[in-house]
Structure 1
Amino acid sequence: MTLDISIDADEEWDSSTDWARLAESAARAAIAESAFPALAKAARPVELSIVLTSDEEVRALNAEWRGKDKPTNVLSFPQAEADELEDAVTPGPELMLGDIVLARETCVREAEEKALRLHDHAAHLLVHGTLHLLGYDHMDDDTAEDMEAREVRALARLGLANPYEVAA
């Protein structure tokens, strides 16, 4: 898997964190807990794009693509269809999973509110975003329960606590 990470130079993402390593670990953990674990060792190249930016940039993207003129912690823009995810074990052209965008100010505020380290909260959001790229959502109780269970298992792979217990 190839990870393309872009960190907005105008934003103060903690420079002591290896964001590329964190993003790749989170994505691999999410993939392992998805219906497509073979993506981690796909016969074709798999690419994922991560953007760490500002609330303002995320607000603009959220307004343009979701019609919500406000920042949010994470946005996901899937590019692969379910059949492409299933066929990743077959050699072929590069498979672009999609883009995940995190908003720094919102991530920092949420981490502080939950008494979490920023990189732990960001890992959760990266797992969450990766699962969205793989077709998971939380639009109803059943899909939300499934997605949250996958997140919890993926975070356990990273040595992180269940964020839903912490929040409760």
Structure 2
Amino acid sequence: MRLNLSVQYATARDACPPREDVKRWVRAALDPDVIGRADVTVRFVDAEEGRALNLEYRGRDYATNVLSFPYQQGEHLAGDLVVCQPVLEREAAEQGKALADHAAHLIVHGTLHLQGWDHETSDQDADAMEDEERHILGGLGIADPYAADRSCSPAGG
């Protein structure tokens, strides 16, 4: 599988995960049985941009943790992820998680959305998506993000 990844930092770069980590997390979440090529952009933003995008595209007037914008699915996947760094940091602190682990969770979650996974249609879909996230994150050596607190589900989409 060929991954063309662009990582953009529209907020303080030193607080954001490095490109190498982002690439590892995106690659881990891509289904190699389906995808031959993936063109993905991950953009780390401040709360103002995160809020504006969430309002424009989801009609929700707050900054959310991750937004997914799939453009093409199937063998050639193309899409963008937007991670709101201040929300990422706040949630990690509130949930008592390492910042890198929570960032990995959001990137994996968003990458699954790019591939068509959904957690808002039914409880069954949400359970399946959470199971897939656990499997992927476990392979990265990251603990189950849902084990301690059922309220930590990524809110974006």
Q: Distance in 2 between matches of 1:13 and 1:71?
A: 20
Deviations 1:86-127 (A, max 9, x none): xx2xxxxxx352000001111101000111111110100000
**Native 8 Å contact 1:97 1:134 kept in 2:** no
What corresponds to 1:162 in structure 2? 144
**Maintained 8 Å contact 1:13/1:104:** no
Aligned pairs (5 A) from 1:9-158: 10-11=11-12, 13-14=14-15, 17-18=17-18, 20-32=19-31, 37-39=33-35, 42=36, 45-81=37-73, 85=74, 88=75, 95-139=76-120, 140-158=122-140
Change (3 A) 1:98 1:160: same
Normalising by structure 1, we get a TM-score of: 0.81
User: 1:108 is paired with a residue of what secondary structure?
Assistant: helix
Aligned residue pair count: 147
Q: Decide which structure has greater helix share.
A: 1
Secondary structure of 1:166 counterpart: coil
Q: State the 1:38 CA deviation.
A: 4.2
1:51-100 deviation per Cα after TM superposition (whole angstroms, max 9, x unaligned): 0111110100011111111110000001114xxx1xx2xxxxxx352000
Deviation at 1:24, TM superposition (A): 1.3
Asked which structure has the greater CA Rg, the reply is 1
Q: Which residue matches 1:7?
A: 9
For 2:125, give the aligned amino acid: T
Q: TM-score, normalised by structure 2?
A: 0.87
Equivalent residue of 1:37, what SS?
coil
CA separation of 1:13/1:143 partners in 2, compared to 1, >3 Å: closer, same or farther? farther
The one of the two structures with greater contact order (alpha-carbon pairs below 8 A, sep at least 6) is 1
Q: Please provide the CA RMSD for this pair.
A: 1.6
- 8 Å CA contact 1:50, 1:100 repeated in 2: yes
Which 5+ residue runs of structure 1 have no aligned equivalent?
89-94
**Alpha-carbon offset, residue 48 of structure 1:** 0.4
Structure 2 gap ranges (5+): 151-157
